[in-house]
Amino acid sequence: MRFLVVCAALIVLPQAIMAKTVAPGAVAVHDAARTSPVMESFFKNLQRPGSPNHWLAAPADYAVKPDAVAPHFAVPAAALHAAVKTVVQQTGGAAVNSETADGLHIVFTSAVFGFKDDVRVHIIALSPQQSTLALYSASRVGYWDLGANRRRVEDWLARLQMVISAAKP
């Protein structure tokens, strides 16, 4: 038990210190109270931290340089939005915090320590029958997430492909 307490302190303490180092006027990426009426504005103002505890998949020419290029889906934006909600419902520990016409803010809570990560999704219509998204997962605390956010984004993108394929006649 003492070992778990020490490990938790080593993870949380540096994060608590780093949380105070956001530049004046900058949008704090891990601010749980921040919800945008339009997801596009969240991503437009996104200032990614220097820590490796976040991951972004988005179009190559997106406002924020992505870590991975998001695929195009051969479905309307509304169908992609519904597919994202299905993936969230299938993910243990994930809950929709807020929803707009063009996206979602999901809070993911880890099973062991109860750490919370914010996942934001911006649905982008490319044409009436094609869409893509920006999918950003970021830890609220800690410097390093052991690749959890990257794995989550990659997993959700793969699961989205399966949900969309299963929904086609």
pLDDT in tens, 6-20: 344 444 434 433 333
Q: How far is CA 164 from CA 34, 71, 122, 160, in A?
A: 30, 12, 17, 6
Residue 128 in tokens: 């009436």
Q: How far is CA 109 from CA 26, 38, 116, 156, in A?
A: 25, 24, 4, 16
pLDDT classification of 39: cutoffs 50, 70, 90: confident
pLDDT in tens, 126-160: 999 999 999 999 999 989 999 999 999 999 999 99
Please list, in sequence order, all residues whose beta carbon lies within 8 angstroms of the beta carbon of residue 131, skipping any fewer than 6 positions away. 72, 73, 75, 76, 77, 79, 80, 123, 124, 125
Q: What are phi and psi of 75, to 5 degrees?
A: -145, 155
| pLDDT for 48 | 93
| pLDDT for 41 | 85
Topology classification of domain 2-167: TATA-Binding Protein (3.30.310)
Residue 46 in tokens: 């996104």
* Mean of pLDDT values over 7-36: 36
